[in-house]
Amino acid sequence: METFLFITTAIVAVGAALAMVLSSNAVHSALFLILNFCSVAILYFLLRAPFLGAVQVTVYAGAIMVLFLFVIMLLGAENAELGEEKIGWQKPAGLILGVALLAEIGYVAYRGTKLIDAPVADATNIGAPTTISAKLFSTYLLPFEVISILLLIAVVGTVVLTRRRVVAREERQS
């Protein structure tokens, strides 16, 4: 049963990811990406990490993609033509990074199941919210707080950047 579920979900996930890249309509791409996020969430459930799965759906498929769709719809950018490339080194850089990622995946696959063996043993309860929260607020408290500060900086940075543009425009007008 679990293998069957895994194979179906994995096919859907890979298919959705491919369709997302290949689709020419931005809204369709966004929808395929949501499908991909949801199938990855099911994979988390299969790995007995229900918390992670639910957060995946809430945060990625729910919050972030709604914003994406909102922006696409608002700008009417669903059928944007591929314009002149502004950054010349974009394509070679993408190629290099892609190859690096492939090499990484290949290395992990070559190392095989040895990497995965260890944590599975006591994994039955590891994904429960209480276990995660207990770990997060004791052992990993410092990284947790550092990340929250990082996010706060990002938010403040966004506000500063957009405000500066608004102020500049107002100065030009006056």
Partner 1 sequence: MQDRSLWVMIIHAVVLAFAALTSFAYLTLMERKVLARLQHRVGPNQAGPNGYLQPLADAVKLMFKEDIMPSTADKWVFTIAPILATIPAIVIFAVIPLGPDLVVFGERIPLAFASLNIGLLYFLAVTSIGVYGITLAGWASNNKYSMLGGVRSAAQMISYELAFGLSVLVPVMLTASRSADGFGSLDLVQMVNAQAGTWLGFIPKWFVFTPTGFVAFFLFLIAATAEVTRAPFDLVEAEQELVGGYATEYSSMKFALFFMAEYMKLIAMSGFAATMFLGGWRFPYLEDIAGNWGALVGFVVIAAKIFFFLFLSIWVRASLPRIRYDKLMDFGWKRLLPVSLATVVATAVIVVLTNPL
Residues that bind partner 1 (CB under 8 A): 25, 27-28, 31, 34, 38, 50-51, 53-55, 57-58, 61-63, 66-67, 69-70, 73-74, 78, 128-130, 133-134
Give least dist CB 100 to partner 1, A. 33
Report the 10 Å Cβ neighbour count for 160: 9
Q: Which is nearer to partner 1, 10 or 54 (CB)?
A: 54
CA pair distance 73, 101, nearest whole angstrom: 32
Task: Give whichever of 125 and 173 is closer to partner 1, judged by the CB atom.
Answer: 125
Q: How far is the CB of 139 from partner 1 (least distance, A)?
A: 16
What distance in Å separates the CA atoms of residue 38 and residue 31, rounded to the nearest whole number? 11
- The rounded distance, in Å, linking the Cα atoms of 78 and 63 is 20
CA 130/CA 138 separation, integer angstroms: 12
Smaller CB distance to partner 1: residue 6 or 68?
68
* C-alpha closest to that of 31 among 43, 13, 16: 16
CA angle 141, 144, 145 (to 5 degrees): 85
Compute the least distance from the CB of residue 152 to partner 1, in Å. Answer: 14
Please, which residue, 102 or 123, has the CB nearer to partner 1? 123
- If the CB atoms of residues 17 and 69 are measured against partner 1, the closer one turns out to be 69
Instruction: Find the shortest distance in angstroms from Cβ 73 to partner 1.
Output: 5
> Which positions ≥6 away from 71 have C-beta within 8 Å?
77
Shortest spacing between CB 11 and partner 1, in angstroms: 19
